[in-house]
Amino acid sequence: MPGTSDPSTVEAWAREAGAILLSHHGRLEQVEKKGARDLVTAADREAEALIVARIREACPDDPILAEETRATQADAPRLWIVDPLDGTTNFVHRIPHFAVSIALYVDGAPVVACVFNPILDECFVATRGGGATLNGVPIRCRGEDRVSESVLATGFHYRREYHGDSNLQHFTDFAYLARGLRRLGSAALDLCYVAEGRFDGFWELHLSPWDVAGGALMVREAGGVVTDFSGGDGWLFGGEIVAANPQLAPRIREVLAAADPASLPGPRFEP
């Protein structure tokens, strides 16, 4: 396989980018808006520039799909998918739940990934067929198979009022059914928390590939499954994802499928 797929190299890149994020944390002079709620900072751009430079040095022929650097070959045999700062809103508000995510996909499947939360110094690494670790210690999904005994995580799109399914009905349904729900603001870390057993499952809508590319391999290598809402493989580019252990995932999908799109709640007024 041409180019690097060494997990220690990918981890080193993520840690370098994490150091950039920490250098800006609590010291931001300017925050820009890409949308009403979608923020971008110098930290995002500097961290992404570093990762892109490292990949291009090591793998000059590989395309890169990143939040600020969009690949023109998203279907290439080798594709790096990068989120330099997943959880930008948390970062801006000094909430210690954000991460760098780097993943390499070969022939459409993840082969190596690293998700690093620099403020907690938690580094999740996975390789296809080699398992998943947190700071070098192997991790596994929890074995819970009942929604009623599960803690689940989700999130909401920045432009949720413009989508036919805002995820609010699903959130309401699970609020009545599950032990607990969490909305922490970083899909990459939410997926890692499923892999490590902190969460039992995760679902979300309208995500981008860089939000889920790294964490999905963590779940798979920790004994879990990752699907779209129909149980298929359209989760990377299809904008919907379910992650849990193999017994719980279909139960989560059953709840999602039971929602009536005609009754999904939306905005009641224009602010």
Q: What angle do CA 77, 79, 81 make, to 5 degrees?
A: 155
Paired strand residues for 41: 31
> Is pLDDT above 80 for 257?
yes
* Domain final position from 120, 138, 156: 138
| Count of domains for the chain | 2
> Is pLDDT above 90 for 5?
no
Higher per-residue pLDDT: 199 or 268: 199
15 and 71 belong to one structural domain:
yes
Question: Tokens representing 94?
Answer: 């000094």
Question: Tokens representing 89?
Answer: 């809103």
Is residue 269 in a domain? no
User: What is the tens place of the pLDDT at every residue in 110-167?
Assistant: 999 999 999 999 999 999 999 999 999 999 999 999 999 999 999 987 555 555 567 8
* Domain final position from 92, 114, 138: 138
3-state secondary structure of 66: strand
Tell me how far apart the alpha carbons of residues 132 and 83 are, in angstroms, rounded to a whole number: 19
Q: Which residues contact 235 (CB under 8 A, 6 or more apart)?
A: 212, 216, 226, 227, 228, 241, 242
Is residue 152 in a domain? yes
pTM of the model: 0.91
User: What is the tens place of the pLDDT at every residue in 155-185?
Assistant: 987 555 555 567 888 999 999 999 999 999 9
- Across 87-98, average pLDDT: 93
Residue 72's pLDDT is 60
Q: Domain residues for 151?
A: 147-263
Is residue 109 in a domain? yes
Taken as a whole, the chain contains a residue count of 271
* Domain final position from 104, 138, 172: 138
179 and 107 belong to one structural domain:
no
The CATH number of residue 90's host domain is 3.30.540.10
